[in-house]
Amino acid sequence: MRLPTRRTFLRQFTALTTLGWVANSLENSFATAVAEPHLSFPTEPRDRIAVASYPFRAYIESPTNPDRDPSLPGMELTEFVSQLRAKFHVHNIEPHYRHFHSLAPAELASFREALSQASVKVVNIAVGGEASFYDADPSARQKAIAFAKKWVDVAVAIGSPSIRVHIQRASNAAPQVERTADSLRQVTEYAAGNNVVVNLENDDLVSEDAFFLVKVIEVVHSPFLHALPDFANSMLGGDADFNYRAVAAMFRHAYGICHVKSGEVDDQGKQFDIDLKKSFEILKSSGYRGYCSMEFDAPGEPYGPTRRLVEETIRYLS
């Protein structure tokens, strides 16, 4: 179907002189509908690779990091930034929200300076949250919305093009598409005004089931709300066919970031492996052109496995 031009659209509604406020409102909606993120992505395989800080959570010193292992050497997030080129030969990072030592403006400015000094850039912030976007209590939903908006502000402060928001489970409600979409629409509209993309990850088999997320994304229908496909999270149910269908569904709505891993470990320590080659075939067939963030997530030291993921990813993207 051919859409009317902006000029035709406005001419048709100008005739509604007694409802001029309707024309103005629809004009603004039209402008929002055609706005898109002003982002560009590199084409060289290594330049498309980022390293997530999450696999290194046992090492990172932060007041909000509960996963710090005091038996291991510690480092600030800024120190991890300085390691990226030397240890992994990449220059993109995906920091986890719990790894920021502080969100004070001076601290964020210092972090941005550390990025500049290391010639490293942030490609996404992985953000969690305690409140649910589909909670039956409107005040809880407002808390989730406010928390996400705060991290949009952080993204602007450190130059991140996107954030990943988490859809927390609610104790008083099952996942609900319309309620979630209404909450995320408010977040997305705020993010769009700052040229920040909001991503949803298949990170929880209940509250972030891949096909549930796709429905939410389609209902919101904004170029600033996209999927963040994780190669292995949907494998935690033990169904490989479901995992690859979920990854394919997510990549149809992906834009700027995905999580690369060769497997995932559940809360009981059971390892679930995936076919990395098949996962990259799904990525390529979708036409995805964004970043690939390395997110090794298994017991043991993360440096060696992350280096292997980097080299495998370069091979599959080449």
Tens of pLDDT along the chain (318 residues) come to 444 444 443 444 343 333 333 334 333 433 344 489 989 999 999 999 999 999 999 999 999 999 999 999 999 999 999 999 999 999 999 999 999 999 999 999 999 999 999 999 999 999 999 999 999 999 999 999 999 999 999 999 999 999 999 999 999 999 999 999 999 999 999 999 999 999 999 999 999 999 999 999 999 999 999 999 999 999 999 999 999 999 999 999 999 999 999 999 998 999 999 999 999 999 999 999 999 999 999 999 999 999 999 999 999 999
The helix or strand, by DSSP H or E, that contains position 293, with its residue range, turns out to be strand 291-294
- What lies within 8 Å, CB to CB, of 293 at 6+ separation is 49, 50, 51, 52, 92, 94, 123, 124, 257, 258, 259, 260
Show the domain range for 30: 1-34
Query: What is the structure's pLDDT at 11?
Result: 44
Are both 136 and 14 inside the same structural domain?
A: no
User: Number of structural domains, the chain?
Assistant: 2
Exposed / middle / buried, residue 18 (Cβ in 10 Å: 0-12, 13-18, 19+):
exposed
- What lies within 8 Å, CB to CB, of 15 at 6+ separation is none
Q: Spell out the alpha helix ranges (H) of the chain.
A: 6-14, 20-34, 77-83, 105-118, 138-158, 177-192, 210-220, 240-251, 276-286, 303-317
Query: What is the structure's pLDDT at 35?
Result: 84
Are both 54 and 30 inside the same structural domain?
A: no
User: Would you tell me how many other CB atoms lie within 10 Å of the CB of residue 277?
Assistant: 10
Q: Are strands 263-265 and 257-260 parallel, antiparallel or unpaired?
A: unpaired
Asked whether 228 and 288 are in contact (CB, 8 A), the reply is no
Taking the C-alpha atoms of residue 46 and residue 38, their distance in angstroms, rounded to an integer, is 22
Are both 162 and 82 inside the same structural domain?
A: yes
Are both 20 and 73 inside the same structural domain?
A: no
pTM as predicted = 0.89
Are both 293 and 235 inside the same structural domain?
A: yes
Taking the C-alpha atoms of residue 175 and residue 212, their distance in angstroms, rounded to an integer, is 8
Query: What is the structure's pLDDT at 184?
Result: 98
Are both 28 and 98 inside the same structural domain?
A: no
Are both 270 and 176 inside the same structural domain?
A: yes
- Position of tokens 């952080």? 154
Are both 4 and 123 inside the same structural domain?
A: no
3-state secondary structure of 60: strand
Angle between helices 303-317 and 276-286 (to 10 degrees): 50
**Centroid of chain to Cα 146:** 17
Q: Which amino acid is at 313?
A: T
Taking the C-alpha atoms of residue 35 and residue 229, their distance in angstroms, rounded to an integer, is 23
Task: Determine if residue 238 is left, alpha or beta; phi over 0 gives left, psi from -120 to 50 gives alpha, anything else beta.
Answer: left
Are both 238 and 151 inside the same structural domain?
A: yes
Burial 27-65 (b: 16+ CB within 10 A, else e): eeebeeeeeebeeeeeeeebebbbbbbbbbbbbbebeeb
Cα atoms in the Cβ-side hemisphere of radius 13 Å centred on 298: 18
Q: Could you tell me the two tokens for 157?
A: 């402060």
Are both 201 and 266 inside the same structural domain?
A: yes
Are both 6 and 63 inside the same structural domain?
A: no
Q: Which amino acid is at 15?
A: A
Specify the CATH number for the domain of residue 178. Answer: 3.20.20.150
Are both 21 and 105 inside the same structural domain?
A: no
